[in-house]
Structure 1
Amino acid sequence: MNGSNILECIREDDFIEYFLFPDLGFLSEDEQELILNETLQKCEDIVRDITRHHLWHKDGFSLRPRTSNTNKLLEGTQKNENLPPHLYGVTHFGENIEDEWLIVYIVLELTRQIPKLIGRMIDVDGEFLLIEAADVLPEWVNPETAENRVYLHDGKIHIIEPTFSEGKTRVNINEVVKCIYDDAVKTVASTEIQNAVFKRIEGYPKKSRKTYILLGCMFQLELQLL
C-alpha cells in the first residue's frame, strides 16, 4: 500500500479535508483532466509562495486530481456521493490546530486568486467553519441541516440556504456548485459570518512565519547547548 492510500485509510481526529472545484462546464473528460492539471499547477504555485516559511507539524498541504473514477467522498467523513471532478487533499495536523487554520486561509486565497474556483473544507466536526461563527448563524443552521452547505468562492464564505434545496436536509454537491456559479442565486454568507471566520485567520500567513522563525531560533539554541 503506498503512502497516499495509507493517508486515506487512516481516519484520525486531527485531519482536515479540502476540495477544490474548477468550472469545467460541459467539457469532455480529456478537457476536464487538462483543466484540473492546469488548476493544480496554479494552486501549487500560490501555496508554495504562502507556505515557503512554514513548518508543518505533521502533513503539509497537498492536492491531487480526482475524476469520475476516483471522486467518491471518503468513508468516515460523509456518505459516498459522486462529485464533480475536482482537486482533493487531506492533511493531518497533529496537535497544531494552527495548521488547520492556515489551510483555511490557503483555500480562501486560492478561491480569491483563481477565477471560478470553489472550495470546500470539512474536518472531524463536519462544517467546522460554522462553529467559529456560531453566535451569528441563521436559526435554521444546526448539525443536521448544515451538511454540504458551506463553501468558499471568490475569497468569501458561501452558505446554501434551505430554500435552494426545497426543504431537503441534504443537498447535492453537483447542484450546489452550479448554484454558486449562478449570479442570480445569492449564496454569499452574511457580513457577520464572514467577519467571524476572517477574525480567526487574521494574521496569516505572517503568523506562521513568526512560528517558523521562533522554531529556528530554538533549534539554533539547542545546537549551541550540545
Structure 2
Amino acid sequence: MEETMKLATMEDTVEYCLFLIPDESRDSDKHKEILQKYIERIITRFAPMLVPYIWQNQPFNLKYKPGKGGVPAHMFGVTKFGDNIEDEWFIVYVIKQITKEFPELVASTNRVFFCHGELCIIPAPRKSGAESWLPTTPPTIPQALNIITAHSEKILASESIRAAVNRRIRGYPEKIQASLHRAHCFLPAGIVAVLKQRPRLVAAAVQAFYLRDPIDL
C-alpha cells in the first residue's frame, strides 16, 4: 500500500531543476546569492503568465537548493498537478521559455533537458568509446552540464521529438484564457472579495466540492 501511494504521488507531481552554466566552481554563498537573484528575475519576468493562471493544486515555484552529493546548487521546484495534466504541460512551456530568455540556465534531468529554449538529449553511446565525450553510464548532473557546455550542437533532439513537444505546448500563453471555465453562482460577499484578491482559491473550492462525501452534505 505504501509503495502504491508513493507511485501515485510521483505520477501527479512534476519536479524541475534549473542549473547555471558553465558549471564553474564558485563560493557557496556567492552562488546562492546569484541563484536567488535569478529566481527573483524569473518570477518577475513570468508573473504576467503565472499570477492569473489557476492551478488545480500547486503553482509553479522556484527555490534555492544547495549542492549535495555531487549535484551543484541549483533552482528547484515541485508542483502537484493532480488530475489536470495541462498544468504539467504549462510548466514545460514555462521552463522552455525560461531557458530561452536566460540562455545561461538549463533545465536538466541528466540526459533530457532544455537549453536555449530547445529540447536536447544526451544519447547513450552505441559503441563503447565511439564518442569519447559520451559517458558509457547514465551521466551525472556535472557530466551533463559539461556536455551541454561543450557539445550543445550535437545533442539537439531530433526534429520529430521537438515537434511533438512543441505541438503539445502550442498556443501558450494565449490559451490560458481559452482554458478557463465560467459559471454563475451566488456567493457571500466576503467570499467574493477574497476570490477577487486570490482567484486561484477557486480551484481549491471546486476540488473540495467534487471530492465531498455524504458526511459533508
Q: TM-score, normalised by structure 2?
A: 0.73
- In the other structure, the counterpart of 2:130 is none
Task: Give distance in 1, aligned partners of 2:9 and 2:81.
Answer: 12
Identity among equivalent pairs (%): 29
Task: Give distance in 2, aligned partners of 1:19 and 1:43.
Answer: 13
- In the other structure, the counterpart of 1:165 is 134
- In the alignment, is the contact (CA less than 8 A) between 1:149 and 1:161 conserved in 2? yes
Task: Give distance in 2, aligned partners of 1:46 and 1:90.
Answer: 19
Deviations 1:86-107 (A, max 9, x none): 0001100011000000000000
**Offset of 1:82 from its aligned partner?**
3.1
- In the alignment, is the contact (CA less than 8 A) between 1:179 and 1:185 conserved in 2? no
- In the other structure, the counterpart of 1:27 is 26
Q: Is 1:106 matched up with 2:94?
A: yes
Where structure 2 has 5 or more consecutive residues not aligned to the other structure, the ranges are 1-7, 126-132, 188-217
- In the alignment, is the contact (CA less than 8 A) between 1:17 and 1:90 conserved in 2? yes
**Offset of 1:46 from its aligned partner?**
2.6
Task: Give distance in 1, aligned partners of 2:118 and 2:81.
Answer: 24
**Structure 1 stretch displaced more, 88-97 or 38-47:** 38-47
**Offset of 1:184 from its aligned partner?**
6.8
Q: Is the partner of 2:185 in helix, strand or coil?
A: helix
Where structure 1 has 5 or more consecutive residues not aligned to the other structure, the ranges are 1-9, 72-80, 122-147
**Offset of 1:22 from its aligned partner?**
1.4
- In the alignment, is the contact (CA less than 8 A) between 1:46 and 1:110 conserved in 2? no
Q: Is 1:223 matched up with 2:191?
A: no
**Pairwise CA RMSD of aligned residues?**
2.0
Q: In structure 1, what residue type is equivalent to 2:33?
A: L
**Structure 1 stretch displaced more, 40-49 or 153-162:** 40-49
Task: Give distance in 1, aligned partners of 2:47 and 2:33.
Answer: 21
**Offset of 1:167 from its aligned partner?**
2.7
Q: In structure 2, what residue type is equivalent to 1:39?
A: Y
Deviations 1:88-127 (A, max 9, x none): 0110001100000000000000000012100136xxxxxx
**Larger-gyration structure (1/2):** 2
What is the aligned length?
172
Q: Is the partner of 2:113 in helix, strand or coil?
A: strand
**Offset of 1:149 from its aligned partner?**
0.9
- In the other structure, the counterpart of 1:204 is 172
Task: Give distance in 2, aligned partners of 1:107 and 1:197.
Answer: 13
Task: Give distance in 1, aligned partners of 2:152 and 2:185.
Answer: 59
Q: 1:26 to 1:185 in 2, by over 3 A?
A: farther
Q: Is the partner of 2:154 in helix, strand or coil?
A: coil
- In the alignment, is the contact (CA less than 8 A) between 1:116 and 1:181 conserved in 2? no
- In the other structure, the counterpart of 2:157 is 189
Task: Give distance in 2, aligned partners of 1:184 and 1:202.
Answer: 24
Task: Give distance in 2, aligned partners of 1:201 and 1:18.
Answer: 17
Q: In structure 2, what residue type is equivalent to 1:97?
A: I
